[in-house]
Structure 1
Amino acid sequence: MSAPPAPPSYPRIVAALRAAGCVFAEDEARLLLNAAADPAELTRLVDRRVAGLPLEHVLGWAEFCGLRISVDPGVFVPRRRTEFLVQRAAAVARPGDVVVDLCCGSGAIGAALAAAVGPIELYAGEVDPIAVPCARRNLAPVGGRVFQGDLYESLPVALRRRVAVLVANVPYVPTTAVGLMPPEARLHEAPVALDGGADGLAVLRRVAAAAPRWLAPGGHLLVEIGAEQVAAAVAAFAGAGLEPSPVTSEEYEATVLVGARPPETR
């Protein structure tokens, strides 16, 4: 009986990942080595990554805001630039607030906000049935409740006019640009998490239009957008009666639009 093949060594893994086009081959090789329970599993993990699966789907988790977020195959992988969205939301949130993570995907934003702000009354909504169980695993430890459905249709009606912070990481890639995205995204993430319509803002407009019915007076809606979409997104927020304030981070190469619902006056 022949001996089983030797497990791939660190140099061999790095070489294989480089040949597959992985930019951070050394870092990925270390992560794969640490994740594998035995040589056979290591070989499977390396083969899946070389075949083009996102590293996060291979490992089963993504690092986001210092947290390890569970990410199932097919679920949108939280991006580092979205950490800026979390920072801006945390700046207007307070412990005890009602917070909604809409288009929640894995629930990464909600989990990160709970870690940054402290105890919050957290709800999340997601249309993709594949992502919902993943979000529930990530948000259960912080008491978050996850609902499946299209945008606000997923939320309990009792939340209307009670939401202090509404974060919606809406898809904002124009339809014609989805095909230009890296294969890891366009082949392995749900199209509903990427495609934002003709100009990338179709979902954003729907979220903005209905937000005043859900936000408490003085509450905030926050979304991530492309830098070239600021003018159109600001117009959508203003048209919905929100006071828009775009903010950009060079560090994260990200743009966030914050919309405040004006306080009610007597």
Structure 2
Amino acid sequence: MKDPVRWRLDIAYDGAAFHGWAAQAGLRTVQGELEHWITMVLRLAAPAQLTVAGRTDAGVHARGQVAHVDLPADRDGTHLARRLARVLPADVAVNAVSRAPNGFDARFSATWRRYVYRLWDADSVPDPLLRNHVTRVPERLDPQVMDRAAGLLVGLRDFAPFCRRKEGATTIRHLTHFSVARLDDACGSIACTVQADAFCHSMVRSLVGALWAVGAGRRDLSWLERVAAHPVRHADVHVMRPEGLCLEEVGYPPDEELAARASQARAVRALPCDAEPG
């Protein structure tokens, strides 16, 4: 019997009506929806099983999610995206299906994930048609101060103050980019763009929650530095609502480096002994 063939899926979804990515009994999830329809349209003997680049929480959106699925060698995934388009509900789409290169793992081969959290503040002009994709706050925010605050968090550090700890998992992450700017759009939206090698549970929404406090003038930069140095989750950090968050893109190395990257990512992470906390 021939070995299964791995296929890469590029996925987008509106997370408003989903209980997150991960399959959960009795709940509507993105993984559950996709695995059901892949199994159906390909008439698989066993249910399809997807591995995803980043599990999103309930209500969080994605336009650049990536997953892989291993299919029997006698099932051709070339036309899978077109067949899924006929059956999938309107709030999820598989935009491309391609044969994965050797060593590809949607989760462990990824080198970075980029999220954008969108806000409307007192200076914004909300568009009701976009209300399920932006979080509204009552105060007037200062994006420049928020951007300076974001810069303090860039680097390799333990993000335990901003994470919900998972038993046996590390909270050390390398935040490579974090910026805040008011967009030149009709609404005057504020975009918080954050990129890292990986993220912990609720990490992005907690980071933005900390910036919200600074941008609204309730906290200052020294407070944020003290929070960032805290050894465990900090009680003063607010977790933002999910609707403003969207996974925009996942990055991968060249094909010849995929397997090595996957092996590296599976290793338990620790800070270098001489590393600065920021």
Q: Structure 1-normalised TM-score?
A: 0.24
Report which of the two has the higher share of strand: 2
Report which of the two has the higher share of helix: 1
Bigger RCO (CA 8 Å, 6+ sep): 2
Q: Structure 2-normalised TM-score?
A: 0.23
